[in-house]
Amino acid sequence: MSDLAIRVVNLGKQYRIGGPPTANRTFREAIMDSLTAPIRWMRGERRSIETFWALEDVSFEVKQGEAVGIIGRNGAGKSTLLKVLSRITRPTKGRVELYGRVASLLEVGTGFHPELTGRDNIYLNGAILGMSQGEIARKFDEIVDFSGVEKFLDTPVKHYSSGMYVRLAFAVAAHLEPEIMVVDEVLAVGDAEFQKKCLGKMNDVTKQGRTVLLVSHNMGAINQFSTKTVLIRNGKLVNFGPTNEVVSYYLSGDQNKNSDFRFDPNKDPNSPISFTRLTVIKKNNEMGEEIGVNDGFKIRIEILAKRLVENADIGIRVDNQIGYPVFTSALSETTKSLTHFEKGVYKYLIEFPPTFLTPGVFRITFAIHTPQVKIHDFLDNLVTIKILETGRHPLWQYAGNNYGDVFVNLPWRLEESRKS
């Protein structure tokens, strides 16, 4: 007996952009359109029909009991893939083989009726997902306990928050006990505690020999949950394998590896102050994004104030390769106050000391803002830095891969020593 849960072979999904209207036409409009078609053809008139492939030649296999992540940028085709796997959307070409019952959680509250109570929607949604009435009744208390909405069980779900919606929807889908479970980014709606609870439930599902596919932009969740990961870019599968390797490729090799960024100061005419240039500088004043762990580097920031901006600050946030913040830093930490930027050009240099960031991939976000009032310019995950292990520091010789994200040279002082 095959141990396959999913086989995807040369899968493609094509959509049409534009073209003649096909919906909401009257019978008279349809008849006139048909009668005038020969005249339009003789005149050389053509209606432009543009198509694009949301998925193209995607092939992979997933075994029973595997936890597989699906990652990629917005618009890459991740959700389209899940819809095809869930048999919501028909593929244009290729085929999908599913070995077992599939439960899908693709959108918050799919299959819920807003006028019905939470109790009624458990039965309704469970029936839509393929559960029998007896199966729902047997698992009803578990579903309610997992969702945490017991207090509002007899309240119409139209009064639920989006978080309550997704908790109840996930609780029903998770207790279906399908052979294959497909989950989209909807978990981002829940709070941190519920996300942890969901990941725990999905881990339990895989331990029972069932298969789970999870789409997420949270690389921490993907690393924690999945053993293999699919990376999709522009509708094509570009990488599939062990999660740590695919995530590392996505966050480093699949990103823009620029080290000198220039921006149009008029990109936002309403902003009084904005970034105009950011440059990564290595030793010997060379530009580049690959830095030896013992070398350190600098980032030069150039900004333009078009008019007076009072009480503003410039800040950066450094994230590690799975998207968790490592630390933040702000201009106000040095100046001990917010800055009044008069009209003009300003240049700042941030120095990252040697042996500070440990070997790995880091991404840096930049912002100019008036604290708690307005963000004037924001460059999310703009710079990607790769810190290379050089082996020239004693720490790297015995620490293995357990570096953490930063190495801090704290002051150590011997208070007492007794020799025998």
Structure confidence at residue 191 (pLDDT): 64
Side-chain-facing half-sphere of 395: CA atoms under 13 Å: 17
pTM: 0.59
In 3-state terms, what secondary structure has residue 217? coil
CA distance 138 to 141: 8
Averaged pLDDT score across all residues of the chain: 83
Q: Of 353, 351, 355, 352, which is closest to residue 391 (Cα–Cα)? A: 355
Q: Of 291, 300, 295, 282, which is closest to residue 387 (Cα–Cα)? A: 291
Which whole-number Å values give the CA distances from 115 to 118, 149, 343, in the listed order?
10, 17, 56
| Contacting residues for 281 by C-beta, under 8 A, at least 6 apart | 287, 297, 298, 299, 300
Q: Of 192, 196, 197, which is closest to residue 171 (Cα–Cα)? A: 197
Q: Of 105, 80, 99, 70, which is closest to residue 181 (Cα–Cα)? A: 105
Say if residues 288 and 280 touch (Cβ distance below 8 Å).
yes
Element (H, E) at 348: strand 344-352
| Contacting residues for 104 by C-beta, under 8 A, at least 6 apart | 82, 85, 86, 88, 173, 181, 182, 183
Structure confidence at residue 272 (pLDDT): 93
Instruction: Give the ranges where 175-272 is alpha helix by DSSP (H).
Output: 192-207, 219-225, 243-248
CATH of domain 4-253: 3.40.50.300
Q: Which residues of the chain have pLDDT under 50?
A: 1, 22-23, 397-400
Say if residues 354 and 295 touch (Cβ distance below 8 Å).
yes
Q: What angle is formed at CA 103 by the lines to CA 100 and CA 105, rounded to 5 degrees?
A: 155
Task: List the chain domain ranges.
Answer: 4-253, 260-393
Structure confidence at residue 128 (pLDDT): 80
Structure confidence at residue 37 (pLDDT): 67
Structure confidence at residue 167 (pLDDT): 82
| Contacting residues for 2 by C-beta, under 8 A, at least 6 apart | 99
**DSSP letter (8 states) at residue 148:** T
| Contacting residues for 44 by C-beta, under 8 A, at least 6 apart | none
Structure tokens at 344: 């003009």
Structure confidence at residue 398 (pLDDT): 44
Per residue in 207-235, pLDDT (tens digit) is 888 888 988 877 777 877 888 999 998 89
CATH of domain 260-393: 2.70.50.60
Structure confidence at residue 44 (pLDDT): 63
Strand order through the sheet with 273-281: 260-262, 273-281, 297-305, 344-352
Percent of the chain residues past pLDDT 70, beyond the cut: 83
Structure confidence at residue 30 (pLDDT): 66
Backbone angles phi, psi at 252, to 5 degrees: -120, -70
